[in-house]
Structure 1
């Protein structure tokens, strides 16, 4: 099977496919497709407020931003664990929640939130983090939501104690809830963001594609696959090219696109360092042909950002994307085997069941899929990864997974100190650049 990177050379032009020719379904995917065809990167914030007035003000500000932006309504922690009574009591008391409690507010109130704001030129996605989101998805279907996200693995292993078989059954039901009521709801896999960092690209890609296949198997026809920016721009570019190829191969008969996440790990503490981190992710998104980018703000290391700070990040990202496009297409991408490794993980996982859901459950039960440093009861937690020279993220111990460890990187123990050092790699990298620059400026 061709990798799409060319053959016979360690560096070949990126030739991964663009968006599929399948007609875009629903206004979320139509907006993303149209923006991409116009040469515009779609940018999206993380944003959620408990009261409807503030949440609406946030959506209106994002809509007015000088960018091709889509809206986000992030739900609160009570809703994520289906404790809707506590969410209602918090609303009655006027307590501050860390998101918008969709179920507690109810369909009519959430409908009022969106009315006159969401539309063909500004679709809105609901983001949640729930392993058992049936009640939430029922509400979203009744509201007529444009999009949501998650997955049977990606919203189970890192975030909950729910057994993986139970979460997988719940997500199959959730797909049916959405697909039975509307063919236009868009569903994004969070599989490419497992734990945010220290998960090598091949596993991120495999999990995102497998979750996309799971969605497709249960009736979803508009899907996005995800990838989180890691610690090496060159490795990330190769990974995104591999993800596009694999999505085309396994999801080619549905409407799909790629969403990139600005780095989800320990963030730079200086303002300039944080903006440079965001700039890197924007340029990576453009160079890789990704259609959508989830941005972070300059205050991520310190507190929850304001509406205005979210808008600033969106407009900065849009300006960087326009600048990057003027540079023309990316040159060559180094081929190191990410595509081949992800392909092996996908095809071998599928042999563990008669459907994608059972295959995922059985593969994790056998340690055939194993997320590094993830403590969930259904994850073997035998695999380990390490950040090497130049920020390249590699397996140091694959556990029982069918992947190879590069020569010289095999089965080295990861200590608490080395783990902390790796988690802070990008923080040190971008803050150090700012501090060095400030010192140089001080000497001039």
Structure 2
């Protein structure tokens, strides 16, 4: 069967599903009809889609951390702490690395070791191994909406178990959870597997249960130009909408320049609405998520709080619907619950102070927004051209051609030719365009800004700028200027 952006036939879905549920014994716990009944009893205040739609109407920004440990009781306690002491608006369940790679036997070993030593020996919550009943224990232990956050190219069994377990939001996509995460997984396979996930979510929607879906916006997390993450987010939104998904939260990772980041968040929502409407998906609710800086952090906690505060300020001024919060231990490893809560409280303080302060519109902001839109449209139109109107086929061919290219991604199905660097004001530009389908007018804007930085710093633009920029924030700066 050739890949196409076409809603999966239900009988075909059920045939695939029988094999998916056999991948681990807990798959046999999933009763779809009973799961829908369980989900339908979850009150609105604990449902992700409703909470996001309400925040969008009120034009406020909600705060959500990342968090996950190996055992059920300890994970529940962690989430309760982040809700009560961290004042989070929304809660996550970050899935462990073994589960992300479908290595459930090794995840089980991690569970047993965690029980033996009395602390988590996994870097997340192994939901597949714990199963439906355990997931419901976690869901029922808190009063806030819960989302599954992971990084899995094949997330079908995880989706079955966690949705049956009462989670009301699910992150990821066939591109955003493949290209930045895996080396050898073909895009055709991961897109097909995520069509299954979205068809499952669409089925819940058909039964009156809305599950929020969120493509992973930051991708590789460092110096990703807005047009790249926008293009992938919108393509994944189109793929999800075709399968019946109605609640879509599209993401963007902070680059650091306030003007560019605000323009990016605002343009993302507008472009997504434009393309979803163009293909007839007019009943989807589009919200946005802003990820605080995903690159290297300062080791000093006080400096780390400065990075967190800057991310919070940018999110609220951009009017993102949600912000994903980092912790002051980012440079050190998995944070303590106290550090995680401190990052949320720092973010909430800034959100509350700035929520009623609109950013003054400026000519420069509009120009940046127009530039991002022009770049993103150029990529999307080329994808559609490659696929002869079908985004699923188009994205496969576009990656093969390098028309869409994610910087620093490990996947061998990604060209890896794109080379981003900051301009002298810290906005992310392109030092090497790879094979992006930009006209000379767009390219000249990037060249001029990179050259201007070179003159300011007294050096020729080169790969060294890229290296300097990658480490700059960890060293206390935004632009990697030579000392």
State the alpha-carbon separation in 1 of the partners of residues 141 and 126 from structure 2.
Answer: 20
State the alpha-carbon separation in 1 of the partners of residues 111 and 167 from structure 2.
Answer: 22
Asked whether 1:244 is paired with 2:269, we answer yes
State the alpha-carbon separation in 2 of the partners of residues 286 and 181 from structure 1.
Answer: 32
- What's the secondary structure of 1:148's corresponding residue? strand
How far did 1:83 drift? 0.9
Aligned to 2:382: 348
Contact 1:62 1:70 in 2 (8 A): no
Matches within 5 A, 1:310-389: 310-332=340-362, 333-336=365-368, 337-353=371-387, 354-389=389-424
How far did 1:36 drift? 4.4
Candidates 235, 241, 246, aligned match of 1:216? 241
Contact 1:370 1:380 in 2 (8 A): yes
State the alpha-carbon separation in 2 of the partners of residues 244 and 375 from structure 1.
Answer: 28
Question: Higher helix share goes to which structure?
Answer: 2
Contact 1:26 1:185 in 2 (8 A): no
Contact 1:75 1:101 in 2 (8 A): yes
How far did 1:388 drift? 2.0
Asked whether 1:184 is paired with 2:210, we answer yes
Q: CA RMSD in A?
A: 2.3
Q: Calculate the TM-score normalised by the size of structure 1.
A: 0.85
- What's the secondary structure of 1:193's corresponding residue? coil
Aligned to 2:470: 423
Aligned to 1:21: none
Matches within 5 A, 1:169-208: 169-182=192-205, 183-190=209-216, 192-208=217-233
How far did 1:26 drift? 8.7
Deviations 1:119-169 (A, max 9, x none): xxx100011100011111111232132001111111101111211111111
How far did 1:67 drift? 3.8
Contact 1:69 1:314 in 2 (8 A): no
Deviations 1:41-73 (A, max 9, x none): 210001010011111011112222464511110
How far did 1:219 drift? 1.6
Asked whether 1:396 is paired with 2:431, we answer yes
Instruction: Give the aligned length.
Output: 403
State the alpha-carbon separation in 2 of the partners of residues 96 and 349 from structure 1.
Answer: 42
Aligned to 2:10: none
- What's the secondary structure of 1:225's corresponding residue? strand
How far did 1:90 drift? 2.2
Q: 1:320 to 1:413 in 2, by over 3 A?
A: closer
Q: Calculate the TM-score normalised by the size of structure 2.
A: 0.79
State the alpha-carbon separation in 2 of the partners of residues 25 and 67 from structure 1.
Answer: 15
Structure 1 consecutive aligned stretches of length 4 or more whose deviation exceeds 6 Å: none
State the alpha-carbon separation in 2 of the partners of residues 365 and 66 from structure 1.
Answer: 44
Aligned to 1:105: 130
- What's the secondary structure of 2:47's corresponding residue? helix
What are the ranges of 5 or more consecutive residues in structure 2 without an aligned counterpart?
Answer: 1-43, 115-119, 452-459
Matches within 5 A, 1:267-278: 267-278=297-308
How far did 1:38 drift? 4.4
Contact 2:405 2:414 in 1 (8 A): yes
Q: 1:242 to 1:99 in 2, by over 3 A?
A: same
* Greater RCO, 1 or 2 (C-alpha within 8 Å, sep 6+): 1
- What's the secondary structure of 2:335's corresponding residue? coil
State the alpha-carbon separation in 1 of the partners of residues 351 and 261 from structure 2.
Answer: 17
Asked whether 1:57 is paired with 2:97, we answer no
